[in-house]
Amino acid sequence: MPIPPEDHIFVDDVKKSFGQTHVIHGITMHLRRQETAVIIGGSGAGKTTLLRMLIGLERPSSGHIWVDGEDMSALDDYEMNRMRQKFGMMFQYAALLDSLTVFDNVAFPLREHKKNMTEKEIRDRVVRMLNGLGIMNKEERMPSELSGGQRKRVGLARALMLDPEILIYDEPTSGLDPLTSRMVDDLIEETRAKFNITSVVISHDMASTFRIAHQAFLVVHGKVIAHGKPDELAFGENEEARNFIKASGIAADRIRRVDSSKGGTAI
């Protein structure tokens, strides 16, 4: 079957079991280039397992994951490493190393993967990226001296260091107050537009989903039971999807996607 060229990632009937435990029961998803896909679902639904397969940390028990038209399941370890460089990861709580300065946190991927860069080239690139994300003169600070929003920006700078095509965000707004969460939504949308990035976001935050998603996928017991624009899930045919969104308590008819062309808010 030909893969649609607009699919950056095509998850093709993927199943995953751990021993006798069947966790993913045949998931198919088309994740389009330079769009934001948000994967929603209750805890234990299989979101993290799906995410780990997307970035090649787990292999499907059956089915295929195609990235840029290449079948990840056919790759050997060397080719898988090359493939992983297409992905940037924004971990939950930004996951900065507390004992390192902001500069050393952001420089970390370059020091690991770009052994021939000079210290000066590294410094230039790190400072340019931080400044581009609105973090000025904080290179020598420790992560503990930053606000929650600033830490997110530093984590994002680090995730962008190796020029990923795809950014994966694991629960980017969890643990943040509502105002900072909305600013992180703006940041995700601005980053997508500025770097032409395809974003995949795992989220429990329904307001965030409505603000950033081009497509949302509702995962229940290892299956995608509904997908589409958030509006289509909130007001469409699928009762389970309608109820899931209603249960979050958000005013689904009042939240619109953020428009990156209008400029965002600084954290």
Which of residues 17, 34, 48, 101 is near Mg ion by CB under 5 A? 48
Give the dihedral sign, CA 13/18/20/22. negative
Cα 177 to Cα 162: distance, rounded to the nearest angstrom = 30
Residue 234 is a binding residue for ligand ADP (CB under 6 A):
no
CB-count burial class (<10 Å; 0-12, 13-18, 19+) for 90 = buried
Q: What's the distance, CA 74 to chain centroid?
A: 24
- Angle CA(186)–CA(190)–CA(191) in degrees, nearest 5? 120
Binding string to ligand ADP for residues 155 to 194, with x set by CB under 6 A, is what?
Answer: ----------------------------------------
Cα 162 to Cα 123: distance, rounded to the nearest angstrom = 14
Q: Given the complex with ligand ADP, which of 53 and 107 has the nearer CB atom?
A: 53
31, 9 contact by CB (below 8 A): yes
Residue 49 near which of ligand ADP, Mg ion, none (CB within 5-8 Å, type-dependent): ligand ADP
Residue 21 is a binding residue for ligand ADP (CB under 6 A):
yes
Residue 265 is a binding residue for ligand ADP (CB under 6 A):
no
CA-closest candidate to residue 50, choices 162, 160, 201: 201
Q: CB of residue 203 vs Mg ion: minimum separation in angstroms?
A: 11
Q: Which stretch binds Mg ion (CB under 5 A): 43-51, 134-142, 185-193, 208-216?
A: 43-51
Which of residues 4, 44, 175, 178 is near ligand ADP by CB under 6 A? 44
Which residues form the interface with Mg ion (CB under 5 A)? 48
Which residues form the interface with ligand ADP (CB under 6 A)? 18, 21, 23, 41, 43-49
